[in-house]
Amino acid sequence: MATWLALAVYGLLLVSVASIVWRRPILALYAWIVGLALHNAVMAALYGAGVHGSSLTAIQAWKEILLAVALARVAFDAMRNRRLAFRVHAVDVLALGFALIVCVYAVLPQHSLGGLADRSAIGLALKHDLIPVGAYFLGRSVLFSRDELVPLVWTLVGAAAAVVLVAAAGVAARAPLARVPENAMKFAVGTMLTTFGIFWATEGAGAGWPEGDAALPVVLAFVLLVSFVLVALLRRRRLEAAVA
């Protein structure tokens, strides 16, 4: 149940953010700054809630998916305008040459290279080597003014400050939280993530909430109601299985 719920919320959020990035690729930078600040905490919470294996790997791929969407939009604009967004220099040729060499190595038989890597290892190597090249060309293609740079810097500073504050709060609250039952902690974290996921996915899709942010408590109440009903049903099923 936790895995399907996490994938559903993730899918809604990803589609919403990807559509925004497609319209304005520069907004991918904001998504990465905020998303990477939350990434490890969210992944740890999901793992603790029972989301493992390929499902967690798929959720972790949000960074690469947003990069691909932004690059696709940049390539689309370049083909439509019949010109690149930047003037080609030697370093651009070197970056493209490096990407081509990586791709050639990926398709060559491993025995000819004296290696034993399987498809999974080759895929991870491709991701490791090609993502920096893609990010480089995205940076070369996305142009923004000084007025757009200021909020980006403030977003970076705010994300960094939030990480520091959360880390400090975690250290301070470690002892009291250790006395909280683990399942209760998972339930609280999952409820909050689901609530904000539903709220911001709807906002990202272009639909508004009645009364704006004041609708958050209503969404939280709905999520809690559904959660308690599901918990009750699962407990009843477990008791029936134990009796049988």
In which domain, by residue range, is 168 found? 2-85+142-243
Which residue bears the tokens 């700054």? 33
59 in the same domain as 99? no
Overall domain count for the chain: 2
Rg (alpha carbons) of the chain, rounded to whole number: 22
151 in the same domain as 238? yes
175 in the same domain as 94? no
209 in the same domain as 175? yes
- Cα 23 to Cα 142: distance, rounded to the nearest angstrom: 12
Q: What is the pLDDT of residues 97-115, one digit of tens each?
A: 999 998 988 888 877 777 7
66 in the same domain as 156? yes
189 in the same domain as 98? no
> What pTM does this model have?
0.66
Q: What is the pLDDT of residues 195-204, one digit of tens each?
A: 877 777 676 6
74 in the same domain as 137? no
Please, are residues 129 and 3 in contact by the beta-carbon 8 Å criterion?
no
Taking residue 68's Cβ as centre, other Cβ atoms within 10 Å add up to 15
